[in-house]
Amino acid sequence: MNKTQAVNTNEFSFWYGDFQALKKLTFNITANKITALIGPSGCGKSTFLKCLNRINERGAEVSHDGSIQIFGEDIYHPQVALPELRKQVGMVFQKPNPLPLSIYENVIFGAKTHLPGLKRVQLDEMVETSLKRVGLWKDLKGQLDRSALSLSLEKQQRLCIARLLPLKPKLLLLDEPCSALDPAGIEAIEILIKDLKKDYSIIIVTHSMNQAKRVSDETIFMYMGELVEMGKTASLFETPKEARTAAYIEGRFG
Amino acid sequence: MFNPSLQLIKKEIRQKNFENILSTVTFFLFLPALVIIFMLFLKGYPALSWNFLTQDPIHGMTAGGIFPTIVGTFWLVIISVLVSCPLGVTAAIYLSEYATDNKMNRLIRLAILNLAGVPSIVHALFGLGAFVLFLKMGTSILAASFTLAVMNLPVIITSTLESLQAVPMSYREASWNVGASKLQTIRHIVLPNSIPGILTGVVFAVGRSAGETAAILFTGVAFYLPFLPQTVFDQCMSLSMHLFTISTQVVGVPDSYPFATALVLIMLILSVNSIAVGLRYYFRTRRKW
């Protein structure tokens, strides 16, 4: 394993009860790049994403086989503490889900749960840096006490990204982050995502092949829980090696 | 072209009729409450006075006031809530936030539902056996309050469970996703958002226990006591029991006395319930979202 790889999966399979959602996935995801996961509904792309911070383990009977390493560390090792894993591998959901708190409280919520006793000055600075990073500071600096739920969907989604940043995550997981947004919102979030890859490794699940083409460096095509093809985005879309990939990106199924 | 067809007119008449039936039935449900309070006020009016509320019953309960019964009712209600509230809320948090769907937990839920269906006289017998005799509390305020608490548990658990589950899953996910533990999520996200519902449930339970008679019958309530309870190990009188006593067991009580006692009891319960409504309103307006 070398430092430029964010994720290594090795023969990784995953089951919800008896249903095998992922089948022997083996691939590497490069650090500081944007990797798009595409495939028809139910192909396992969201499941894979949720395995990366193990957020899918509540309430469901799940089991796995094989391994996933994030920056060289096995995330299914028995000593892995889930709160720590989730702190470093943050997820942005399909539907913006700000907490029912003020904008300010939303940004510092994660930091406060991990580092109790932060001073007001440090928190203020945290809020300012994070909101600046996602482009919300100029609009919202005067109204940080407003409820986060009163923001537009696009701003809510930016806020959901912003609240991960004080935790200094290594990997950002975006689960169809734009599917609830209008075209202007989509464009704005895509610009933000591309800007964020300087500092973070990003995996994005998307239904839109155009979005995958626009934002990602590498693309993984999954089908029925299996990896079909992986490659540089440009070459995967121009000269797919697999027939199924070609069929999917031409819109013949899925 | 846009004139209603015969069929449409018929449909609208049926629609109107249905609406009228619903509103009439609803009105008749509302009527008894009004009539009861009105009748109680009418018939109890001659007995109502400041002295009625603040004096002891005298002459074998055929004169005087009902002060000790009000005091007793307060003792019972407050102690039973102090017992059932922490227990019930804790159990509901476990069931909502921690319990997985297995046989044991399904059995627990079933037991709670069944507990809600147990008649109060059976609770009284249980209280007699468990608290008065087995735990040697004697017939006392404590034993009666515990019995009331057991009776109220399913109400509090169910209402708390409902308000916990009304908090959207996405809030919890968002909180876990930044690495908050389950406990932190419950403390900072789930509970603050469900407090109004929980409080409402608790206060309604208070109202219910204030009026309960059978459950405290053998466990801690006296027919007549010449003194006020000093500790929780004393017996006490209660409004509901007193109402039963002077209505059926004592000869020579003025006609207005039972009605006035009932009115005081109902007013007490109504005011407790309006506190619940007020609390809910207060929290709703204070919320930022």
Neighbours of A113 (CB within 10 A): 21
Higher pLDDT, B101 or B263: B263
Binary contact (B188, A95; C-beta < 8 A): no
Alpha helices in A3-135 (DSSP H): 45-52, 82-88, 103-114, 120-133
> What are B211-242's pLDDT values in tens digits?
888 888 888 887 787 778 888 788 888 888 88
**How far apart are alpha carbons A20 and A211 in whole angstroms?**
28
CA atoms A158, A160, A166, A169: torsion sign: negative
> Are residue B72 and residue B180 in the same domain, yes or no?
yes
> Are residue B24 and residue B102 in the same domain, yes or no?
no
**Average pLDDT rounded to a whole number, residues B67-83:** 90
A33 class by beta-carbon count within 10 Å (0-12 exposed, 13-18 middle, 19+ buried): middle
Which of A59, A100, A164 has the CB atom closest to B178's CB atom? A164
Q: Which of B178, B186, B193, B283 is the best mutation test for A, with the most CBs of A within 10 A?
A: B178
- pLDDT of B110 > 80? The answer is yes
Confirm whether B1 is domain-assigned: no
Confirm whether B108 is domain-assigned: yes
Confirm whether B144 is domain-assigned: yes
The C-alpha of B157 sits at a distance from chain A's nearest C-alpha, in angstroms, of: 21
* Chain A contact present for B193, CB below 8 A: yes
**How far apart are alpha carbons B173 and A145 in whole angstroms?**
23
> Are residue B68 and residue B176 in the same domain, yes or no?
yes
Binary contact (A167, B175; C-beta < 8 A): no
- Which residues does A140 contact at the CB level (< 8 Å), separation at least 6? A103, A131, A146, A155
**How far apart are alpha carbons A83 and A80 in whole angstroms?**
9
Closest B-chain CA to A55: B177
The C-alpha of A204 sits at a distance from chain B's nearest C-alpha, in angstroms, of: 16
Beta bridge partners of A147: A102
> What are A39-85's pLDDT values in tens digits?
888 888 889 999 998 888 876 688 899 999 998 889 999 888 888 89
Give the confidence band of A254 by pLDDT, cuts at 50, 70, 90. low
> Are residue B155 and residue B18 in the same domain, yes or no?
no
> Are residue B156 and residue B226 in the same domain, yes or no?
yes
- Per-residue pLDDT at A2: 52
Which of B170, B178, B287 has the CB atom closest to A113's CB atom? B178
Three-state secondary-structure class, residue A169: coil
Closest CA to B289 of A237, A101, A70, A135: A101
> What are B146-171's pLDDT values in tens digits?
999 999 999 899 999 999 998 988 88
Q: What's the CATH number where B151 sits?
A: 1.10.3720.10
- pLDDT of A135 > 80? The answer is yes
**How far apart are alpha carbons B70 and B60 in whole angstroms?**
18
Closest CA to A201 of A37, A5, A2: A5
* Chain A contact present for B283, CB below 8 A: no
B110 class by beta-carbon count within 10 Å (0-12 exposed, 13-18 middle, 19+ buried): exposed
Closest CA to A164 of A146, A151, A177: A177
Q: To the nearest 10°, report the CA torsion of B93, B99, B105, B110.
A: 40
> Are residue B82 and residue B16 in the same domain, yes or no?
no
Give the confidence band of A1 by pLDDT, cuts at 50, 70, 90. very low
CA angle B152, B157, B159 (to 5 degrees): 100
**Average pLDDT rounded to a whole number, residues A232-254:** 83
The residue ranges of every structural domain in chain A are: 5-249
> Are residue B123 and residue B26 in the same domain, yes or no?
no
Closest CA to B241 of B101, B73, B75, B12: B73
CA angle B213, B84, B186 (to 5 degrees): 150
Confirm whether B111 is domain-assigned: yes
> Are residue B68 and residue B120 in the same domain, yes or no?
yes
Closest A-chain CA to B184: A113
Binary contact (B177, A53; C-beta < 8 A): yes
Amino acid type, B151: M
- Full domain range(s) for residue B11: 6-47
**How far apart are alpha carbons A225 and A37 in whole angstroms?**
12
> Are residue B96 and residue B207 in the same domain, yes or no?
yes
- Per-residue pLDDT at A60: 67
Give the predicted TM-score (pTM) of the model: 0.79
Total residues found in chain A within this entry: 254
Binary contact (B171, A163; C-beta < 8 A): no
Q: What CATH number has the domain spanning A5-249?
A: 3.40.50.300
Binary contact (B179, A160; C-beta < 8 A): no
Give the confidence band of B177 by pLDDT, cuts at 50, 70, 90. confident
Which of B100, B101, B288 has the CB atom closest to A102's CB atom? B288
- Per-residue pLDDT at B25: 92
* Chain B contact present for A160, CB below 8 A: yes
Count CA atoms closer than 13 A to B10's CA, side-chain side. Answer: 3
Is residue A34 within 8 Å of A219, Cβ to Cβ?
A: no
**How far apart are alpha carbons B145 and B155 in whole angstroms?**
15
> Are residue B30 and residue B100 in the same domain, yes or no?
no
Enter the DSSP assignment of A57: G
**How far apart are alpha carbons B284 and B288 in whole angstroms?**
9
Give the confidence band of B82 by pLDDT, cuts at 50, 70, 90. very high
> What are B87-108's pLDDT values in tens digits?
999 999 999 888 877 888 889 8
**Residue B213, token pair as written in the block:** 């008679």
Is residue A52 within 8 Å of A46, Cβ to Cβ?
A: no
What is the interface pTM, i.e. ipTM, of the complex?
A: 0.79
CA angle B94, B98, B99 (to 5 degrees): 85
> Are residue B246 and residue B124 in the same domain, yes or no?
yes
Helix B191-211 and helix B239-248, axial crossing angle in degrees, nearest 10: 20
* Chain B contact present for A169, CB below 8 A: no
- Per-residue pLDDT at B99: 84
Is residue B163 within 8 Å of B196, Cβ to Cβ?
A: yes
* Chain B contact present for A94, CB below 8 A: no
Give the confidence band of B190 by pLDDT, cuts at 50, 70, 90. very high
- pLDDT of A101 > 60? The answer is yes
Confirm whether B36 is domain-assigned: yes
Share above pLDDT 70 across residues of chain A, in percent, rounded to a whole number: 97
Using a CB-CB distance cutoff of 8 angstroms, which residues of chain A are in contact with residue B179? 82-87, 110, 113-114, 167
- Per-residue pLDDT at A136: 87
Report which secondary-structure segment, H or E, holds A161. helix A153-162
**Average pLDDT rounded to a whole number, residues B72-95:** 91
Dump the DSSP string for chain B: --SPPHHHHHHHHHHHHHHHHHHHHHHHHHHHHHHHHHHHHHHHGGG-SHHHHHS-EETTTTEE--HHHHHHHHHHHHHHHHHHHHHHHHHHHIIIII--SSHHHHHHHHHHHHHHHS-HHHHHHHHIIIIIIIT---SSHHHHHHHHHHHHHHHHHHHHHHHHHTS-HHHHHHHHHTT--HHHHIIIIIHHHHHHHHHHHHHHHHHHHHH--HHHHTTTB-S--SS---STTS-B--HHHHHHHHHHT-TT--THHHHHHHHHHHHHHHHHHHHHHHHHHHHHHH---
> Are residue B55 and residue B162 in the same domain, yes or no?
yes
* Alpha-carbon distances, residue A32 vs A195, A197, A235, B178 (angstroms): 11, 5, 19, 21
**Domains of chain B: total:** 2
**Residue B207, token pair as written in the block:** 């109202």
Using a CB-CB distance cutoff of 8 angstroms, which residues of chain B are in contact with residue A167? 178-179
Confirm whether B14 is domain-assigned: yes
Confirm whether B269 is domain-assigned: yes
